[in-house]
Amino acid sequence: MTVLDSRPELPREGGGRRHEEGSDVLITDSGVSMSDVADLGAGRGPAWLDEWLASGAADVVAWRRHLHAHPEVSRQEHDTTELLAGVLRSVGLHPAALPGGTGLICDIGSGERCVALRADIDALPLTENTGLPFSSTNEGACHACGHDAHTAVLLGAALALASAPELPGRVRLIFQPAEESMPGGALDVIAAGALDGVERIFGLHCDPRLEVGRVGTRVGAITSAADLLELKLTSPGGHTSRPHLTADLVHALGTVITGLPALLSRRVDPRSGTVLTWGAVHAGQAANAVPQDGLLRGTLRTGDHHVWNELEPLVKDLVQSLLWPTGVGFELEHRRGVPPVVNDAESTAVLRAGIEAALGEDALAGTEQSSGGEDFGWYLEHISGSFARLGVWSGEGRQYDLHQPTFTLDERALLVGVRVMVHAALTALA
């Protein structure tokens, strides 16, 4: 299968197309030929997987680069969904679009037993600054979280599994939209019945702190719950020379900015990893006028599921107690986000066995719990599963973090991911 390069065509003497000097993509009249990307698990089998990767590795890289060049933000992943559907249908599979119009579900194999593999397909509303020859062509959107890699990995795993002479059961592919929007597109997938009959679910996420060829696993919480707080304050306003005749809104904002995190640290078990960080504050224009309104926004995260369930009423009580002496009015919106991703021990053991089969024992790595949120946690509210971190750092040079417009990855990780996903499914069904 050939995936054509998606960048603007450039004229070439004698017709056809060419690509600019120095690129590692060679455009020919018959399509795209990618430079070799080392398969770090080559020869570990099964034979049909080795054979598919020997011929399909270039396509996995080409898919990732196409997706990277054409990112689509949450719930707008229409072209991405169309591309995925076309590739899956080309090998005789029957993907079904989600009711919202973006994202796909597709089964491979037959039998009563079923395991699921999930990838998120949306991009972030950021402007890319990598300088890559396949940088984003969509203004204000880029794959700074590696979802292009997640999608290409699962697509590669799908075609590899479809090439198998026989599978020990069914593998359900979940190409999920809107992971970057709270409370997450996973809820749409669940509502569509995608977990019906599924025993376990597995997922991978790029980790720029982990070297390519290694996969980080963890029993228990691997990410945190993430909520959004928005606090609107109101005051009659007035002259700064007479704050006693009004309600000093900016002072009240400062009281909440410093006081709420401090009080939470004394009211919540510190072992829960609960963190409140403000990201935006707005109030006033003039230096000598007390403003009439103000706005404060931030994120509240915790690694403990029990604490997460108790935070909303606690935060409301604390805000009220902080603002009552100031006389400032307030309206608090506490938007519950995603639960922690909590890996169960049995599914994590299955995933580790799959990683070892795919890459060898040296590929196994531990990993810490992150304060970041991930809507994969919604799946684990319903069925067992495990979520792992895929090493994407080359081992040399700077490690560019996720959600930075400079984020890049070592494309050898794509083939590592394909092998891990395939072996996780095979191990779970064995």
Angle at 425 (CA atoms; ends 339, 351), nearest 5 degrees: 60
User: Strand, coil or helix: what is 368?
Assistant: coil
Tens of pLDDT, residue by residue, the chain (430 residues)? 444 443 333 333 333 333 333 334 433 444 445 567 999 999 999 999 999 999 999 999 999 999 999 999 999 999 999 999 999 999 999 999 999 999 999 999 999 999 999 999 999 999 999 999 999 999 999 999 999 999 999 999 999 999 999 999 999 999 999 999 989 999 999 999 999 999 999 999 999 999 999 999 999 999 999 999 999 999 999 999 999 999 999 999 999 999 999 999 999 999 999 999 999 999 999 999 999 999 999 999 999 999 999 999 999 999 999 999 999 999 999 999 999 999 999 999 999 999 999 999 999 999 999 999 999 999 999 999 999 999 999 999 989 899 999 999 999 999 999 999 999 999 999 9
CA-based end-to-end distance of the chain: 30
DSSP string covering 56-122, please?
HHHHHHHHHHHHHHS--BTT--HHHHHHHHHHHHHTT---EE-TTSS-EEEEES-SS-EEEEEEE--
Supply 95's token pair.
Answer: 């993907």
Which residue do the tokens 């608090």 mark? 332
Which residue do the tokens 């050939």 mark? 2
Q: For the whole model, what pTM was predicted? A: 0.89
Compute the distance between CA of residue 338 and CA of residue 181 in angstroms, rounded to an integer: 10
| 384-393 and 200-211 beta bridge pairing | parallel
What's the maximum distance between 2 C-alpha atoms anywhere in the chain? 82
Burial grade of 205 (CB within 10 A; 0-12, 13-18, 19 or more): buried
Do 44 and 355 form a contact (C-beta atoms < 8 A)? Answer: no
Compute the distance between CA of residue 381 and CA of residue 183 in angstroms, rounded to an integer: 14
Compute the distance between CA of residue 305 and CA of residue 303 in angstroms, rounded to an integer: 7
Sign of CA dihedral 405, 410, 411, 417: negative
Burial grade of 27 (CB within 10 A; 0-12, 13-18, 19 or more): buried
Q: Which residues contact 27 (CB under 8 A, 6 or more apart)?
A: 5, 17, 18, 19
Q: On the CB side of 389, how many CA atoms lie within 13 Å of its CA?
A: 26
Do 102 and 188 form a contact (C-beta atoms < 8 A)? Answer: no
Compute the distance between CA of residue 342 and CA of residue 83 in angstroms, rounded to an integer: 32
Q: What are phi and psi of 65, to 5 degrees?
A: -70, -35
